Every structure is written in C-alpha cells, then in structure tokens.
Amino acid sequence: ACALVLPSPPPRAAVRCQAAGACFSAHLANETYTNASAACGGRRGNLAWLSGEPELRLLLGLLADAAAGSAPSLFWVGLKRNAFACTDEGQPLRGFSWEGTGSGAAPQEVPAALGRWVKEPVRSCLAARCAGLHLAAAAPDGGPSWGWKE
C-alpha cells in the first residue's frame, strides 16, 4: 500500500484520496518489504503510514476492494522497527514506527485505535523487523477485520 503524491484527478480503480490529505494506492504482488518500498518510490510515493482513524478507514476500504475474495491478505505499509529498537508492549505500535513519510512528518503519538495486532510481535531489541496490514474476512460490523502482523 503506497501513500502517493498525485496530480488531480487520480485514477479511480487503484487509488483513493481523502478530500484534503493522503492518497493511497493498492498493488497486488508477492514482494519483500524492500521491493514494495522501492515500487512505491517508483510511483512517486512511499509505503503508506497512518496518522489516525479516517486514513485507516480509507486504506481498509481500498485494500478490501483490492483483495476481494482473496482474504486473508497481508499488505506492506511503512511500519518498521529498526535494529536496536525494542518491542514496547505499552505502545499501540509496539515500538514500530512509520518510515518513508515523504514531505510530511509521521505522527509521533499514535491513537490507541491503531494498535490492533493480529499476533503480538516478537519481543526483541536485536533485529530490524517489518509489519504489514493483515486483512481477514468481514468483521461482525460488516467492515474488514484487520490488524498489524509482523
């Protein structure tokens, strides 16, 4: 999932934008985190990062449409824990942070609602780790079931 800098209007099928703010695109490919990041760069963007629930809802809708019928699916976003950064169970992102934020600054404080993990990340301080956005079948409220997955 890429956060893009796009001319107006963006293509409708692969991109969704907030009225004022972020644009996201979904790309289905079996790639590593590094290759996915490079692919977003080639599209004048970066792996997606989220600052709040409105962006999360926009991205979830886009990814659910992109993955239609193939759930569960894992999408790379710009969520990474660098080597020597420790797992922090007291934080919503568990010590992971947003990278590749382009011209903007990634949020330093993360809303608790963004702290949903499918499985808690491995407790470590020794190796860089990446996390993706995991989508599963629809939740009871009709929206996609989601969570971060290392």
What per-residue confidence (pLDDT) applies to 11? Answer: 46
Q: What is the CATH number of the domain that holds 58?
A: 3.10.100
What per-residue confidence (pLDDT) applies to 141? Answer: 65
- Number of domains into which the chain is organized: 1
Torsion of CA 98, 103, 105, 106, to 10 degrees: -20
| Domain range enclosing 86 | 2-149
Sheet holding 2-4, edge to edge: 15-17, 23-25, 2-4, 45-47
| pTM of the predicted model as reported, rounded to 2 decimal places | 0.81
Tens-digit pLDDT string for the chain (150 aa): 676 655 444 444 478 888 777 789 988 888 899 999 998 888 888 999 888 888 898 999 888 888 876 667 889 999 999 888 899 998 999 999 988 654 444 555 678 888 999 999 999 888 899 999 998 866 666 666 899 999
The 3-state DSSP class for residue 43 equals: coil
Give the C-alpha distances (Å, rounded to integers) separating 138 from 3, 5, 24: 24, 30, 21
